[in-house]
Amino acid sequence: MTPAADQPEVWLRGKIDGVSNALMPVVHALLQARRELRPMQEHVSIEECRISPGGAATIGFHLAHIVGSLDRLFCYAHGTQLSAAQLAYLRDESRFGVERSPEALFEAAVGQIDACVEQLRTTAETSLLEARAVGRDRLPSTVMGLVFHAAEHTTMHVGQIRTTLKIIRGVASAAPVGNAR
């Protein structure tokens, strides 16, 4: 199953209600990542989620990392530093990728994307250039820099999931990988 083959990619569907024009590319990228994850959700086995071909990160890790990285980057964009729970999640992402079921990992990733899209709906366009401090070293960024990086980082990990799945299954795979156009 490919993502809604009868629908164009998300960025070609026009404006998303409730999202400022300046944030539209970020929302489009996040919704495209969600669109590509959904078809894979029902077709990735526990074994596929946990295998590390050639030492590469597991699909489970990528899913757990999407959840954690989005949470952390949007926390910084909101102007707050990480909580103890967020730091604990960061420390345990690799373990979560192996211990949790594929269904739970995919649901968590899609749910985190949805939460970020909702946060973007309430993000004022006037705040996009506001300075934000990232991490213990309080490295400089802006609201726009953080949410843009969150979207590109997420799409990169979705691509890695798709590629890892293709490697695991081999080129002649009959099971869906969730190809984009």
Q: Residue 78: pLDDT above 60?
A: yes
Q: Side chain identity at 120, as an amino acid letter?
A: L
Q: Side chain identity at 67, as an amino acid letter?
A: V
Give the model's pLDDT for residue 94: 87
Give the model's pLDDT for residue 69: 98
Q: Residue 159: pLDDT above 50?
A: yes
Q: Residue 131: pLDDT above 90?
A: yes
Q: Side chain identity at 158, as an amino acid letter?
A: V
Q: Residue 170: pLDDT above 50?
A: yes
Main-chain phi, psi angles of 82, to 5 degrees: -70, 145
State the CATH class of domain 10-169: mainly alpha
Range of weakest confidence among 3-12, 15-24, 154-163:
3-12
Q: Side chain identity at 154, as an amino acid letter?
A: T
- The number of angstroms, rounded, from the C-alpha of 72 to the middle of its chain's C-alpha atoms is 12
Q: Outline where 19-178 has alpha helix (H).
A: 24-41, 46-50, 59-78, 84-99, 102-121, 143-169
Give the model's pLDDT for residue 1: 40
DSSP label of 142: E
Question: Which pLDDT band, with edges at 50, 70 and 90, does 23 fall under?
Answer: very high
The predicted model gives 78-101 an average pLDDT of 93
pTM, to two decimals = 0.90
Q: Residue 178: pLDDT above 80?
A: no
- The number of angstroms, rounded, from the C-alpha of 91 to the middle of its chain's C-alpha atoms is 18
Question: Which pLDDT band, with edges at 50, 70 and 90, does 61 fall under?
Answer: very high
Give the model's pLDDT for residue 180: 44
